[in-house]
Amino acid sequence: MADFIREIVAADVAAGQIAAPVTRFPPEPNGYLHIGHAKSIALNFGIAAEFGGRCHLRFDDTNPEKEEQEYIDSIQHDVRWLGFEWGKHLYFASDYFEQLYEWAVALVGAGKAYVDDLSADEIREHRGTLTEPGRDSPWRDRPVAENLDLFARMRAGEFANGTRVLRAKIDMASPNINLRDPILYRIVHAAHPRTGDTWCIYPTYDFAHGQSDAIEGISHSLCTLEFEAHRPLYDWLIDNLPVPSRPRQIEFARLALTYTVLSKRFLLRLVKDGFVRGWDDPRMPTISGMRRRGYPSEGIRDFATMVGVDKANSTIEIEQLEYAVRNVLNRTAPRRFAALDPLRVVIENYPEGQVEAFEVANNPEDPSAGTRSVEFSRELWIERDDFMEEPAPKFFRLAPGREVRLRGAYFITCQSVVKGADGKVVELRCTYDPATRGGDAPDGRRPKATLHWLSAAHAVKAEVRLYDHLFTTPTPGASGDLMADLNPDSETVLPHAFVEPSLADGPAGTTFQFERLGYFCVDSDSAPGRPVFSRTLTLKDTWAKVQARGTGG
Ligand code: ATP
Ligand code: MG
C-alpha cells in the first residue's frame, strides 16, 4: 500500500539519508480537529510507526488573537482518541519564539530583512498580481542599523498594531508571490495562551513553520498542496539561517468530502451562531462530533487508509466514510430493541400480569457477544412503521388479519385496530400463538416479517435524535452562500421513543444497533433514567429503496 510519500521515505531510509523518519502533526489551536486533520494525523503518525520513527505533536500557536487553551486541550484529546501517541514529543511553536526572534535579527543584520512602515493595504497594493510584478516599498532600503533599532522597538512594544512589519528582502519581481518580500513578523498586542504578555510581535506562519521543523529535526514535513508555492520561501529561509537541520517538505492533497465543509472558520461560525449544539454536535465533521455521534476511531482510521494520499485534489463521497464506520459497527455494536415512533400492541389472549423472559442474541454476526434476556408481557410497543392498515403491495409487515413473528418471542396476528378521535391508529389488538414460543412454529409456517418489540411495562422512555447531512447539496457553497445550503432538517428529535431497560443508564459514547433501525449512540445529553440517543447511521433500508423505486405503495 505504498503511496508516493511512503515511497520517498522508504527510499531515504534505504539510501541511508536517515535512520528513521521524524514527522509532525502541526495544528493551529484555533478550532477543533476535523476529518481532514484525521487524514493528516493518520499519515504522519502512521508513517512514523511503520518506519520505526517518531511523530511530534506541535502546536502552531503563532496567532494569539484566534487561539485558545480549550482548542489545545481538545486537539490533544482527539489525537489520542484517534489512537495516536506523541509521547514526550509535545511541542509549541511559541517555545521557539526567542530563537525565531534571534534568527530574524540575524536576517536583518545580514541585510536580508527590513522593517516596513506601509499599512497592510499598501503592502497588498505593492505586491502585484500573478501577471504583474510587485513594487518595492519605499522602506526597502533602510539602513541595517535603523532596521535593527526599529525591530527591537517593535518587540519592546513601542508601536501600535499594524503600524510596522518585518519583511524578508527577497525579490518583488519574483513570479512566485510568496517570494515578494513576505512578512515575517507582525505587531499584535494580544495575550498569548502560553507566553502571556511576553511578546507583542508574533512570527507569521511562514516564518515559524519551517524553522520549527528544523529545530525539531523533522525529516519529512508533510503538508497540504496549498503550501507547494510556499516551499521556495521555506527553502530560502533555511538557506539563509543557521538552522540545525534541513527538513524535506512534501505536499499531498487535502481531504474534501461531499455534503461537508472543512473550514475551521465556517465551523466556528456554525457554533457561534448556534446552528449546531457545539463543536461536538453529531452533525459536525469534527473528530469530537463524530465521536459523539458514535463513529468508532477504528472506522475513521480505516477511512483514512481507504482514501490514501494523492498529489491531486479530489472530493471523496461521504458514503465512503459511512461505509467504513458501518463496517466496524456491524462487527462491534451490540443489538438492542427500540421503538422510535411507538405503537401500542395488546395481546388479548396473553394472561394479564404474566411476564416471560426471552434470550436474544447480542450480535447475530458474532456468537461470542452472547445473549441477553428481554421481558415479554401482554402490552408491547412496536414500530409504527411496521404496521399498515391497508398494506401496500410488497409491504409484508403487520396488517389487519396478518401474522408476523416477534423476534425471539411469538407469532402474533392483528385482529383489530383502535383509533383515536382524530382517526389515527393508537393501538392494535392482537392474538399470539403459544405454540410459537421462541419464534418458530411446530407446523413450519413462516411469517414474511420479523419485527422488533418491547414490553410496555418494562421499556424506558428515551429521546432519539435523527441526523441527516448538514448540507442539502453535495457541493456546499457552490452557489456562493454556504449558509443557504445548510439543511434545516439535519436534526429531527423524537422525544417519545422507547428502549430496552438495559439502556436506561448506558455510558455516553456507547454505540448500539437498534435492530432494523440503525446505529445509535448514547449522547452526552443523557441523564440517569432518561437516555438520549444520537443516530450514528442508518442501516441499509431496503423498504425505503423499494419505495424510492416506485414499486411500493
Ligand atoms: P483551516 O484552513 O480550516 O484553518 P488548516 O489547514 O489551517 O485548516 P491547521 O490546524 O493548520 O488547519 O492544520 C493542521 C494540519 O492539518 C496541517 O498540516 C494541514 O495541512 C492539515 N490539514 C488541514 N486540513 C486538512 C484536510 N482537509 N486534509 C488533509 N490535511 C489537512
Ligand atoms: Mg493552517
Query: What is the tens place of the pLDDT at every residue in 404-414?
Result: 999 999 999 99
Closest CA relative to residue 521, chosen from 360, 357, 338, 344: 338
Note the pLDDT tens digit of each residue in 467-500.
Answer: 999 999 999 999 899 999 999 999 999 999 999 9
If you measure from the C-alpha of residue 482 to the centroid of ligand 2, how many angstroms do you get, rounded to a whole number?
21
pTM of the model as a whole: 0.94
Mean confidence (pLDDT) of the chain: 95
Please state the three-class secondary structure of 450-477 as a single string: EECCEECCCCEEEEEEEECCCECCCCCC
What average pLDDT score do residues 152-156 get?
98
Whether residue 254 lies in the annotated active site: yes
Instruction: In whole angstroms, give the CA distance from residue 475 to residue 386.
Output: 35
- Type of residue numbered 347: I
Whether residue 540 lies in the annotated active site: no
If you measure from the C-alpha of residue 257 to the centroid of ligand 2, how many angstroms do you get, rounded to a whole number?
18
Q: Name the packing angle between helices 35-50 and 4-14 (round to 10°).
A: 20
pLDDT of 552 strictly over 80:
no
Question: Which residue has the least CA distance to atom 23 on ligand 1?
Answer: 37
Of all ligands present, the nearest one to the C-alpha of 59 is: 1
Contacts of residue 493, Cβ cutoff 8 Å, sequence gap at least 6: 463, 464, 465, 466
- C-alpha cell belonging to residue 115: 522593517
Of 264, 402, 405, 407, which residue is the catalytic one? 264
Ligand 1 pocket list (CB less than 6 A): 26-28, 36-37, 39-40, 223-224, 254-255, 262-264
What's the pLDDT at 529?
A: 87
**Residue 189 burial by CB count (10 A; 0-12/13-18/19+): exposed, middle or buried?**
middle
If you measure from the C-alpha of residue 351 to the centroid of ligand 2, how many angstroms do you get, rounded to a whole number?
67
If you measure from the C-alpha of residue 53 to the centroid of ligand 1, how many angstroms do you get, rounded to a whole number?
22
What average pLDDT score do residues 167-180 get?
97
Q: Which of 70-79, 290-299, 499-508 has the lowest mean pLDDT?
A: 499-508
Of all ligands present, the nearest one to the C-alpha of 263 is: 1
Instruction: In whole angstroms, give the CA distance from residue 63 to residue 30.
Output: 9
What's the pLDDT at 553?
A: 34
Quickly count: other Cβ atoms within 10 Å of residue 101's Cβ.
18
Question: Which residue has the least CA distance to atom 25 on ligand 1?
Answer: 36
Three-state DSSP class for residue 36? helix
What average pLDDT score do residues 40-58 get?
98
Closest CA relative to residue 59, chosen from 99, 98, 31, 22: 31
Of 112, 127, 248, 254, which residue is the catalytic one? 254
Of all ligands present, the nearest one to the C-alpha of 40 is: 1
pLDDT of 541 strictly over 80:
no
Residue of 524 and 2 predicted with greater confidence: 524
What's the pLDDT at 308?
A: 95
Contact 137, 181 (CB under 8 A): yes
Secondary element (H or E) of residue 57: strand 54-59
